[in-house]
Amino acid sequence: MTTDVSIVKCDSYEIDLVRRAIEESIELIGGVERFVKRGERLLLKPNMLAAKEVDAAVTTNPVIVRAVAEIVKDAGGIPVIGDSPGMGSALKVGKKCGILEVAEELAIEFTPLTTPVDVEASEGAIFKRLEIAKEALEVDGIINLPKFKTHAQMFLTMGVKNIFGCVPGKRKLQWHFSAGIDSTHFAGMILDLYLYLRPRLTIIDAIISMEGNGPMSGDPRQTNFVAASPEAIALDRVLIEVVGRKVEEVPIIQNAQWRGIEAAKLENIKIQGAGIDNFRVKDFKVPPTLHTNFANSLPNFIEKRLRKSITSRPHIKQSQCTKCGLCIKVCPLNIISRVEGGIYINHTDCIRCFCCQEMCPWKAIDIKEGWLKKILPGL
């Protein structure tokens, strides 16, 4: 059985161009009537990571959200916009990135995902119980609207990863702690969450993506397309191919392949519209976090001696740091502290979740590779 993924060229955020591109991408995979039924309340779930300007490419562009909301309304559905940002209130983030304005202008509900509910995970899940925002469970379906970006821990953040925003606020930090030092466990938890919520449609904003030190401190990169699929796993697998990377570098999709999910394999995906070759992005800059868990496969007595030299870890650029303390607040293990002369990370206890790097608003935390990784890049 094959899964459809559509890719459609779109080189600006002019509303008419964006709407036509999204309508075409939906039509190529079965049409809006496949995904929207009259009277249904549908959660539009954008990436609202943090309160950043639209041009920073940190959040889903509000024009994407507007176009999808209009399409849902025209089909008789009732769109609801909601997310739970990594830091700050959804209202504050929505106002800064322009998404709240879309909700207000279209007179549609804006719902912060704040109320945690314990649920029993789907059969075959790694984590047997999950915490999900009640607001995400009280709708008839989810339309997933991620932003295409790099990610220090997950390498790329795309459709599946965007569903982590359905975990309320600070509960995300607890899940980082629960998943521990192995990024494959965290990837497994995100996949469990995705498989439980099963958004009916994913449309990714890849008109301007983010490369480099993502998901918040990277650089905007013009990539000129939108892509859509009923299955975000398949969409993510295609995007890995578009930027010329390997599945082994992306823990979530690698995890999906380990579980035997057919949509995670390229041979089970049918590209609708122009083919992958028409959208390939050359020299897409990625974070230096390949194989961050290499140390975990070593015997314990060796691992303790070599951890610093063979792992990637967050590094504070003290000259750029404003000492705002946000990294201290978001660290799930509370191992970041103020010291004389700056901010200190206890790397001995660091689980390399990169929450500090992800949420730093000043681009003052980057990823530093151990000396052995630098000279032996295959580690």
Is 265 within the bounds of a domain? Answer: yes
The reply to whether 51 and 139 lie within a common domain is yes
Residue 164, SS3? helix
Mean pLDDT of the 7-30 span: 99
Is 288 within the bounds of a domain? Answer: no
CB 155 within 8 A of CB 69: no
CB 132 within 8 A of CB 96: no
Residue range 134-150, pLDDT digits in tens = 999 999 999 999 999 99
Q: Is the pLDDT of residue 210 over 60?
A: yes
What's the pLDDT score for residue 185? 86
What's the pLDDT score for residue 310? 53
What's the pLDDT score for residue 181? 63
What's the pLDDT score for residue 313? 83
Q: From 146, 306, 144, 312, select the one nearest 213 (Cα to Cα).
A: 312
State the amino acid at position 244 in one-letter form: G
pLDDT band at 371 (very low <50, low <70, confident <90, very high): low
The reply to whether 269 and 337 lie within a common domain is no
Q: What is the enclosing helix (H) or strand (E) of 69?
A: helix 62-74
Q: From 259, 230, 253, select the one nearest 241 (Cα to Cα).
A: 253
Residue range 323-332, pLDDT digits in tens = 999 999 888 8
Q: What is the enclosing helix (H) or strand (E) of 9?
A: strand 3-9
pTM for this predicted structure? 0.88
Count other Cβ atoms within 10 Å, centred on residue 209: 28
Residue 133, SS3? strand
β-pair partners for 41: 78
Is 45 within the bounds of a domain? Answer: yes
Mean pLDDT of the 156-185 span: 83
288 vs 192: which has the higher pLDDT? 192
Is 326 within the bounds of a domain? Answer: yes
The reply to whether 273 and 303 lie within a common domain is no
The reply to whether 239 and 318 lie within a common domain is no
Mean pLDDT of the 312-325 span: 89
The reply to whether 251 and 307 lie within a common domain is no
Is 186 within the bounds of a domain? Answer: yes
The reply to whether 28 and 157 lie within a common domain is yes
The reply to whether 125 and 196 lie within a common domain is yes
Q: What is the enclosing helix (H) or strand (E) of 185?
A: helix 183-197
308 vs 51: which has the higher pLDDT? 51
CB 61 within 8 A of CB 97: no
pLDDT band at 379 (very low <50, low <70, confident <90, very high): very low
The reply to whether 172 and 138 lie within a common domain is yes
100 vs 290: which has the higher pLDDT? 100
Mean pLDDT of the 288-293 span: 52
Mean pLDDT of the 59-66 span: 99
What's the pLDDT score for residue 351? 77
Residue keyed to tokens 């559509």: 6
Mean pLDDT of the 337-352 span: 87
% pLDDT > 90, the chain: 71
pLDDT band at 93 (very low <50, low <70, confident <90, very high): very high
Q: How far apart are CA 156 and CA 239, in angstroms?
A: 9
CB 225 within 8 A of CB 205: no
Q: Mean of the per-residue pLDDT values for the chain?
A: 90
Residue 184 corresponds to which tokens in the numbers above? 């494959």
CATH code assigned at 55: 3.40.50.11440
The reply to whether 304 and 339 lie within a common domain is yes
Q: How far apart are CA 356 and CA 364, in angstroms?
A: 10
CATH code assigned at 312: 3.30.70.20
Q: Is the pLDDT of residue 345 over 80?
A: yes
Q: State how many domains the chain has.
A: 2
What's the pLDDT score for residue 357? 87
pLDDT band at 119 (very low <50, low <70, confident <90, very high): very high
Is 170 within the bounds of a domain? Answer: yes
Range of the domain at 321: 294-375
Q: How, if at all, do strands 141-145 and 129-133 pair?
A: unpaired
What's the pLDDT score for residue 183? 80
The reply to whether 167 and 213 lie within a common domain is yes
Count other Cβ atoms within 10 Å, centred on residue 41: 15
Of 212, 243, 278, the residue that ends a domain is 278
Is 286 within the bounds of a domain? Answer: no
pLDDT band at 307 (very low <50, low <70, confident <90, very high): low
Q: Is the pLDDT of residue 302 over 70?
A: no
What's the pLDDT score for residue 291? 46
% pLDDT > 70, the chain: 89
Is 285 within the bounds of a domain? Answer: no
Q: What is the enclosing helix (H) or strand (E) of 367?
A: strand 365-369
What's the pLDDT score for residue 292? 47
The reply to whether 65 and 175 lie within a common domain is yes
Of 248, 278, 308, the residue that ends a domain is 278
What's the pLDDT score for residue 290? 47
The reply to whether 333 and 238 lie within a common domain is no
What's the pLDDT score for residue 2? 97
Q: Is the pLDDT of residue 352 over 70?
A: yes
Of 278, 302, 332, the residue that ends a domain is 278
Q: How far apart are CA 131 and CA 147, in angstroms?
A: 23
Q: Strand runs (DSSP E) across the chain, as ranges?
A: 3-9, 41-46, 78-81, 109-110, 116-120, 129-133, 141-145, 147-151, 155-157, 201-211, 219-229, 269-273, 312-316, 336-339, 342-345, 365-369
